[in-house]
Each structure stands twice: as C-alpha cells, then as structure tokens.
Structure 1
Amino acid sequence: MRLFGRKDAEEEADRPGDGVAGFWAWWQEARPRLDPLVAAGAAEGIEELLAPAVGALHPDLVWEVAPGRNAAHALVVTAAGDAELRSLAHRWAKAAPPADLLWEFHPSRRANPQALELTLDVGGFEFALDKLAFGLRVPRNQPRVDVAAYHPIFSELDEETRLEATLLALDWLLGEDDVARWVGEITPATFQPIDAVAAVHLPAVVADLASNHQDEEWLSLEGRTGEGASLVAVARFPLRPVDHPLFDQHIEITLPYAHRDDDGLPAGESLTALRDFEERLAARLLELRDDALLAAQLSAAGHRVVHLYADPDSDAATRVEELIASWKEGEPRIDVGSDPAWAAVSPFLS
C-alpha cells in the first residue's frame, strides 16, 4: 500500500499534538486504531488519522505509507525537496520509537528495488516505470547529472503533472536523498531524447558519478564583491545541505584583519594570524565533527568571513565563540541563526 498527502491549511485547527514530541505521543495512542486500518488497506481511514498528525508538524510536509525494508510498513514523512523542511523531517525520524515488526520510519523516500514493476494512474493514464526513458547529461566539472525524462503518456499530460510524475519516479529509482545529491536539472519531455537510456540504467549512471566524488575536496575561488573589491574564497566541494540534514544552524564568524595588500586581501602578520586561527578552528571542528562543519570562508576588503553549519542541539556556537575571543586584530563578530536551506552560502552550493 502506498499513500501520500499534504495537510490542508483549513484543517490546521484539528491538529493533534504540538511538534515532534507531540506527534510521537499521539502515535503511541493512535496505534491501536491505525494498525487495523493499515492491515485492511483502509486508505480513507488511514488518511483521516495521519493527515492531521503530520500537519501538526508542518502543513507542507508530505507523508506516505510504503512497504518497509525490515518491517511490514514504513511511515515516511518527507520535506519532498523543500530544503527549508528537511531538518524537521530528520528530527522527526530521529525521535521515532525503535522499529518493530509492523513499522519503521524514514525522513525521505527510499529507492524501491521493485520500482520498474510499478504502474500507477497519472491523469487517467497508466504510468509504468519500465517504459520511462532518460536523456542524461553530466555538465563539465559538476557533481550532478541533468535529466530529461520521457514517457509515452507525457504528451497527454499538462506540464505540472509530467513534472510531478517524473519527480516521484526519480525518488523510487534513486531514493529522494540521492536525487537531491546527484540530479541537477529535471525536464519532462514529450519527445524521446536522442541517446535516451531506459530507466533501469539510471542508478548505475548516478553510482558512477558518485564514485568520482568520494573524497573531501576544497575549491579555491576568486572574484569581486558587489563594491568591486577583490575577493578570494575556499569552499567545500561538493557542498550540499542534504548531506548534513540536522546542520541547520548557521554560524558566521567575521574577523577584521589589520594588514592587507593593495587589493584588500590579508598579508604579512594578518595572514599568519588567520592561518593560526584556521588551525585552531580545524582542531575545534575535529572535536565537533558530528555536530558542525566548515562550509566556506572568504576574504575581502579587510575582513575574513567564515561560514559554519551546526546542529542547534549541540554547543557548537558556544565553543566557536570561545575560540574567537583571542582574536586581536579588531573586534571579531559571531552571528548565529537558523538557515536550513544554507542560503548564506548559496553561491557555493553544488
């Protein structure tokens, strides 16, 4: 059985519970009513119970009941590609009770090993995944594959429905998280692309792409600020929020430096001081490796700006603040806020 849905805004007043803890308290009380409905395949009754409960977390979360890997059923509560909600879905799953024979819990859709055997109704037409074909293109120096999806029924569907069907098929073929990691532009096509490959080959193409990006890399970049000043930056590559879904706290450190060259970049004693800070920060992040990471840092116009992301349930912000107290070249600053989509480093996302 597979169900999915969004919470309607007009039903919000009837939501049971409050937040993640409220959902799991409700779940324990609802199991005696829910389990028989699932066993009977009573879709309407399941939706009547689950839709308000998931809506209590957030009205834009998507839920579905799918076959489990180790349990009979899986309850999936997913952000459905919304980066702003991904951390909430993962906190929901992290707080879940241990899986049992009936239920397991996931914050994103998993790849379905039987995906190519699936057929569903899309706009009154049969959408069989084994008839899906893809035109694939890997842009140069990019850790993503652009996908043009074709199915014989696409010419009968409107653009929005074609896209929804394509996204769902990709989630089933690859798993939602790997779609976020490795798939770039997604274009539903009404004509079969040249050199299209059958859907069965897509996971192998993505696995080959992923194998080329197993090691940690850093990119050095040069550019100019909006005011025209020289800028140099170093960024993690690939840099993607999906790899660290609980790291939705943005920690921005600003260090003014006194010694700079004609382009405003650090020089002399300031360059030495910044390198020393980098070493001490790296040591601190090693201690916090499960709770924080360095995403990018840039220097321009007499300031070094460091972007970190952390689990807000950790003490990462406090420990980093302690580290900058020893900075002597001007008044350092630390700004801490919520940024689940990593918007502060959007130019560096890959």
Structure 2
Amino acid sequence: MESVRRSSRTETEAVGAFWRWWSVAGAGLITAAVMSGVYGDLPEIIGAMVMAIHPELRWETGPGARSQHRLCITGGGDPRLRVLAERWRRAAPPPTESWEFAAAREPQPGMVTGPLEGLAQPVDLGLARIAVDWDDRSALAELTVYHPAFTRMSTNDCRLAGRLLADWLLGEDDVQRWVGALNVARTDPRDSQPAAVVPEFIQAVATRNANPRWTMREAQTSSGQRVIVCTLRPLRWVDHPLLDLHTAVRIGYRRTGPDGLPDGDALRGLRHLEADLGALLGSRGELVASETCNGLRILHYYSDSEDQNGRESFDRFARARKEVQVTHTGDPGWARVQKFI
C-alpha cells in the first residue's frame, strides 16, 4: 500500500508541475508555436512533463469544440492511464478562448478522409471499410476494419491504423463505451460499409442505450445451487473514469428458503443493509452488480482510490456489523465485473 501511495504522490506532483508551467509560460509558448508552425524544442519539453505523470501517456493538440485549440493527454484506451489523464484534466485551469483540455481523443472525422502518416507506408483512410456486428445483450459492437493496404502492412501497423481510425471516427471514450472488440482484416468482410457511416450507427445504438437500468438473471453454481445476479446495464467504466477501486461487500444471511436464497425476512434485512450503506456512501461509491447465493450476498461497488473517506466508509460499515465483510482491490477498467456483461 505504501508504494501505491508513493506512486500516487509522484503522479500528483507531476500533474501540479505541468499546470504551473502551463500557467506561467506554457500556454503562451504553445499558442505561438501552433500559430507559427515553429515548435523548436517545445514537443520535447511537453513530452517530458507528460511522461513524468506516466511514461506511457501521450499528448497531442487539435482543433477545439468550444475553444480554438484542444490539448489532449491520452492513455490510448488503457483504463489505468485513463484515470491519470482524467486527474490531469480535472486539475486544469478553466478553458479559455484559445485552449480547452481533454483526457481522451475526441472524434475528428476530418482525419479519416486523408493519409495516415507515420507507418511503414502512408494509408489513405478514406478507402477503409468497417463491418459492424452488434450484440444487444452486452450493448457492444465488434468492429472489423479492412483496408486494401493491409495486405502489404505488418499486423502491428494494421492494428495501429484500425485503432486510430476508430478513435477519430468515434472518439476514444465512445470506443470504450460501445466497442467490445476491434479487429483488422486483409480481405473485405461481408456486410462492410464505408468507415464514415459507422458513427451514425453508433449514435443510434447509444441513444437506445443511454439510460443504464438494472437487470436480473438466474444462474447456477457448479454444484447446482441457484444464483441471482443483478447488474447495471450497460456496465461502462468509462462513464466513471476515476472510480478505479473495486469493493466487494459480502453480507451473510441466515434465514433462507429451501433453495438457499433469502426468504422474506432475510430479503428485507438485506435491503435495509444495502440502503444503509448507500446512505453512508452517498455519491462516493457506485453499486454496479450483486450476487446472491446460499446464504451470501456480494455487492460490487466502485469508488475513487484517492478518496480515503470513501474507503473508510466501507470499512466503518463492516466494523459495525459482524455479518458484513469488505475487500478492496484496485480495478481501473472494472475487470472484476466483466463476467456480468
């Protein structure tokens, strides 16, 4: 735990150093560089400060939505890095007429009609086609990206081109929200369509799935016991990028029906406990799933690992109730609840 705290302090100090530099000199320097096209050693200076936050973070500039320019720090879809990028963005000064700030690549549809440089050979992204396979149950799409040039490119370059294409079409966060798998193909897949039409499809399914709702399903353990699973769907960590701490709240109950599920009295007791915990946490924690089986209910919560008061709320709740145990695990990306999707 001490090494985690030390790492967190180092990242926080690096974020603070970046914004102090920005306020004193950086904003003026990068504005002049963007306007003149003369950057000098500015990319190296900014790159070093971004790498001080984390070596795998990257930065880029582009046109803004409300400001003239946008400065983005991106983790390239990695949930661990998205947390850091979000902390950097939230520490930023207010946007100005010149600059706004982003923690993930925003859609840039203009980028998908021209050449992609920086690979072994330039790729005209306007020739790309994408097949979309949508799964209603998970509310996720599988995208298969095809380009005629892929037959002459390495697998890594194909994947990089496919990832950048998806990011520019949809924005990095919407790729996380709505794309479950991103593949590349060297032959044109059946039912492919021009890449430029994919955002319209994703917008339509996003509208249909805009409001998360609770769903319930029944499963069985390997020994045949009934399990009731309740899940918030769609289950999207990217909508809560700072909630990177998974807390499993295990609540034992004694009064059960013949199938091991809680009877009326036990169920009312569980609901009271859940309501009490929710009132204690307030907005500090997000309940996303629960499992109930054979005398045990497990509540799956996420909270901000930097919020010590949130963690302590869980611990205090458990200390006051002998039937409750809690376990905390760092989990950006919510891997521990992916089995419920």
Same fold? TM cut 0.5: yes
Q: Which residue matches 1:334? A: 326
Name which of 293, 302, 307 aligns with 1:300.
293
Name which of 307, 312, 316 aligns with 2:310.
316
Q: Offset of 1:79 from its aligned partner?
A: 1.5
Q: Which residue matches 2:23? A: 28
Answer whether contact 2:105 2:171 (CA < 8 A) is retained.
Answer: yes
1:40 corresponds to 2:32: no
Distance 1:281 1:154, change over 3 A: same
Q: Offset of 1:81 from its aligned partner?
A: 0.9
Q: Secondary structure at the match of 1:264?
A: coil
Answer whether contact 2:69 2:98 (CA < 8 A) is retained.
Answer: yes
Distance 1:137 1:344, change over 3 A: closer
Gaps of 5+ in 2: 1-9
Matches within 5 A, 1:47-126: 47-126=43-122
Q: Which residue matches 1:258? A: 254
Distance 1:226 1:64, change over 3 A: farther
Q: Offset of 1:239 from its aligned partner?
A: 0.6
Whole-Å separation in 1 of the counterparts to 2:245 and 2:300: 10
1:177 corresponds to 2:173: yes
Answer whether contact 1:110 1:171 (CA < 8 A) is retained.
Answer: yes
Q: Offset of 1:320 from its aligned partner?
A: 4.5
Which TM-score applies when normalising by structure 2? 0.87
Answer whether contact 2:246 2:300 (CA < 8 A) is retained.
Answer: yes
Partner amino acid for 2:323?
E
Whole-Å separation in 1 of the counterparts to 2:317 and 2:104: 36
Whole-Å separation in 1 of the counterparts to 2:289 and 2:40: 48
Partner amino acid for 1:313?
D
Superposition RMSD in Å = 2.6
Q: Offset of 1:322 from its aligned partner?
A: 5.1
Aligned residues: 330
Gaps of 5+ in 1: 1-14
Q: Secondary structure at the match of 1:233?
A: strand
Q: Which residue matches 1:19? A: 14
Q: Offset of 1:233 from its aligned partner?
A: 1.6
Q: Secondary structure at the match of 2:117?
A: strand
Q: Secondary structure at the match of 1:84?
A: helix
Answer whether contact 1:248 1:338 (CA < 8 A) is retained.
Answer: yes
Whole-Å separation in 2 of the counterparts to 1:334 and 1:16: 28
Which TM-score applies when normalising by structure 1? 0.85
Give % identity.
Answer: 32
